[in-house]
Copies of this chain bind each other. A is one copy, B any other.
Amino acid sequence: MKPPSARSRRHPFDAEQLLREAGLKATSPRIALLRALHAAARPLSAAALHASVGGDADVVTLYRNLEVFAAQGLARRIEGREGHALYECVDDTHTHHHHVTCTVCGRMEDVELCVPPRVLEEVSKKARFAEIQDHVIELYGICAACQASLTKIRP
């Protein structure tokens, strides 16, 4: 039914090497975490990641590493709507993008829309910002599946 995942890989994913390239020690909690992030189809919470790496890392280590990964550009932190952060992998197969989230079931999809560079320039001029370094766009709506089940209940 589904098309093959965009995450299918030609080369095996080498977490250890990625870590060393980023100047980080390749410890087993880090390897497990990076693999979990890479394998995830969508941004995950710290709790979900902890469950996913199983006994391979203490929660504290996990938080510390998520911070390190974000600083090194291996992962990206996004603020979910439920008051906790979500993390996603940043690599060749996961380039800059944004999200749509279903407000009913919480499912997230990547979307390609982005802020055009000239708009960023305009904003930085108007708001007197020397530089715009980063941005986040989050869309919220109701996915087709949830809409369908809502309609059943209350047409």
Binding site for B on A (CB under 8 A): 79-81, 83, 85, 100, 102-103, 109, 111-113, 115, 119-120, 122-124, 126-144, 146-148
The residue in chain B whose Cβ has the minimal distance to the Cβ of A122 is: B113
A140 partner, pick from B132, B138, B139, B144, beta carbons under 8 A: B132
Copies of this chain, count: 2
CB of A139 to closest CB in B, whole Å: 5
Is there an interface contact between A127 and B111, defined as CB atoms closer than 8 Å?
A: yes
Is there an interface contact between B127 and A109, defined as CB atoms closer than 8 Å?
A: yes
Which chain B residues border A102 with CB–CB below 8 Å?
129
Which chain B residues border A112 with CB–CB below 8 Å?
126
Is there an interface contact between B115 and A137, defined as CB atoms closer than 8 Å?
A: yes
Is there an interface contact between A100 and B80, defined as CB atoms closer than 8 Å?
A: no
Is there an interface contact between B131 and A141, defined as CB atoms closer than 8 Å?
A: yes
Which chain B residues border A140 with CB–CB below 8 Å?
132-136
Is there an interface contact between B100 and A127, defined as CB atoms closer than 8 Å?
A: yes
CB of A143 to closest CB in B, whole Å: 5
